[in-house]
Amino acid sequence: MRIAFAADDENETTRAVVAYLTAEHELIRPARSESWPQLGAAVGRAVVDGDADFGVVMCWTGTGTAIAANKVPGVRAALAWDAWIAEGARKWNDANVLAMSLKRLAPDVAVEVAKAFLGVSEPDPDEAANIAQL
Ligand SMILES: O=C(CO)[C@H](O)[C@H](O)COP(=O)(O)O
């Protein structure tokens, strides 16, 4: 899949996520900046515009990039810190952008979270009515 990715800092965790996305998906970098509001918005726009299937954003907490992405109409960005939360965000919320903390997730956990998020092909149809209200 085409994954739009941005992070406002680089460390072992972001490098592990980039390596995974590059190996398993097509990595798209819609913006290079250290401004987390701009990065979150750029990834959100890439998803909504159809340039990417999903987005992954990372900042120190994950929250700022999630908020910035969610300001783009049509984006449903979810902050996730473990695989269950990430999988649930896709299944039950049809999230289209994953946000993670690059400071609090170990590299292997961040990759596991991204894999769980991107591993769900379709949201749960039982949630369709709820998702439609978002
Ligand atoms: O987690 C973040 C936003 O939620 C940022 O990564 C953190 O606040 C650092 O930002 P800056 O480099 O602009 O000081």
Cα 39 to averaged position of ligand 1 atoms, centre (Å): 11
> Which pLDDT value is given to residue 33?
85
The verdict on ipTM greater than 0.85 is: yes
> Which pLDDT value is given to residue 17?
98
3 state DSSP class of 40: helix
pLDDT under 70 in the chain at which residues? Answer: none
Ligand 1 lined by 20 (C-beta under 6 Å)? no
Ligand 1 lined by 61 (C-beta under 6 Å)? yes
> Which pLDDT value is given to residue 4?
98
The answer to whether residues 62 and 40 touch, using CB atoms and an 8 Å cutoff, is no
- Indicate which atom in ligand 1 lies nearest the CA of residue 63: 4
Domain assignment of residue 96, given as a range: 2-133
Residue in 91, 99, 116 with CA at minimum distance from that of residue 61: 99
- Other Cβ atoms within 10 Å of 132 Cβ, number: 8
> What is the domain count for the chain?
1
Give the Cα separation of 88 and 124 in Å (integer).
9
Active-site residues, by number, are 59
In CATH, what number is assigned to the domain containing residue 90? 3.40.1400.10
> Which pLDDT value is given to residue 34?
84
> Which pLDDT value is given to residue 32?
82
Tokens of 79: 């902050």
> Which pLDDT value is given to residue 52?
98
3 state DSSP class of 106: coil
- Angle ∠(2,66,126) on CA atoms, nearest 5: 75
